Amino acid sequence: MKPAWDQLMVDFKDSKTGLVADVDCTKEEDLCSQQKVEGYPTIKWGKIGELKDYEGDRELGALQEFAKTNLGPICGPKSLSECDETQKKQVEEFMKLDDEALKTKMTEQNKAVEAIEKEFEKEIEALEAAHKVKEDAKNAKVNAINAEGLSSMNIVWKDRYPPPPPPPPEEEEDMGEEGEEGMDGEDPDGADGDDGEEPPAGRSDEL
């Protein structure tokens, strides 16, 4: 897939309405974690903050067609018309900052996100630990009841009423010569299947 993606980046290198890029998740772990990247390679597309998983084919032709159809102008310093009112005010405000000030604000916000993620992980670990405690307590109670006699009761009951044996496997029908003759309407004993008798009264052969 990499050669196809590299070519797609070349195709959109000078585009003013769409961006095609790649990210090394071994170096940009925080960014990839924020975007919920769980496997490699993963393709995301859409507006910043609203990226979605790409589920299509990964051949060059399919990627080029999808990009031409779906990658349009996005909110940014050069396309403020694509921003909503909140984004537009934020972008205009941050455009006034120099690199150092912008980087400092980004670092602060990324640390805040990281703290939230860590707190969430701690809560999940606490829930898992509490679940294990409850599961262990449940298993201990069940084991105690079994030890008091339930397991032995089950043994006696199954001895008195063993489960039925499995049914024998079905034998395949013989489709030899005799079967073929029977399908022709001839009686296996040699009698003609059509004896000329009328059907019994009260029976109809028509629906």
d(CA 135, CA 150): 20
Pairing of strands 44-45, 52-53: antiparallel
Q: Give the DSSP letter string of 79-99.
A: BGGGS-HHHHHHHHHHHTS-H
User: What's the confidence (pLDDT) of residue 175?
Assistant: 52
Under the banding of pLDDT at 50, 70 and 90, the label for residue 200 is very low
Q: Please give the single-letter amino acid code of residue 146.
A: N
pLDDT above 90: percentage of residues in the chain: 37
d(CA 27, CA 50): 22
Token duo for residue 161: 């009423």
Task: Report DSSP state, residue 162.
Answer: P
Residue 119 has pLDDT above 80, yes or no: yes
Under the banding of pLDDT at 50, 70 and 90, the label for residue 43 is confident
d(CA 53, CA 114): 22
Query: For residues 44-75, b (16+ Cβ closer than 10 Å) or e, as one string?
Result: ebeeeeeeeebeeeeebeebeebbeeebeebb
Nearest to 83 by CA among 49, 44, 53: 49
User: What mean pLDDT is reported for the chain?
Assistant: 80
User: What's the confidence (pLDDT) of residue 180?
Assistant: 46
Does this model's pTM top 0.85? My answer is no
User: What's the confidence (pLDDT) of residue 139?
Assistant: 96
Under the banding of pLDDT at 50, 70 and 90, the label for residue 21 is confident
Q: Among 2.40.128.20, 3.40.640.10, 2.40.50.140, 3.40.30.10, what is the CATH number of 2-96?
A: 3.40.30.10
Top-confidence residue, 134 or 37: 134
Average pLDDT over residues 10-24: 78
d(CA 12, CA 196): 86
Would you say how long the chain is, in residues? 207
Task: Report DSSP state, residue 76.
Answer: B
d(CA 70, CA 67): 5
Token duo for residue 193: 């299947």
d(CA 8, CA 71): 12
d(CA 66, CA 55): 11
Cβ atoms of 42 and 36 within 8 Å: the answer is no
Segments making up each domain of the chain, as ranges: 2-96, 98-162
pLDDT above 70: percentage of residues in the chain: 82
For residue 93, is it left (φ>0), alpha (ψ between -120 and 50) or beta?
alpha
Residue found by looking up tokens 């395949």 in the block:
172
Residue 188 has pLDDT above 60, yes or no: no
Residue 130 has pLDDT above 90, yes or no: yes
Residue 185 has pLDDT above 50, yes or no: no
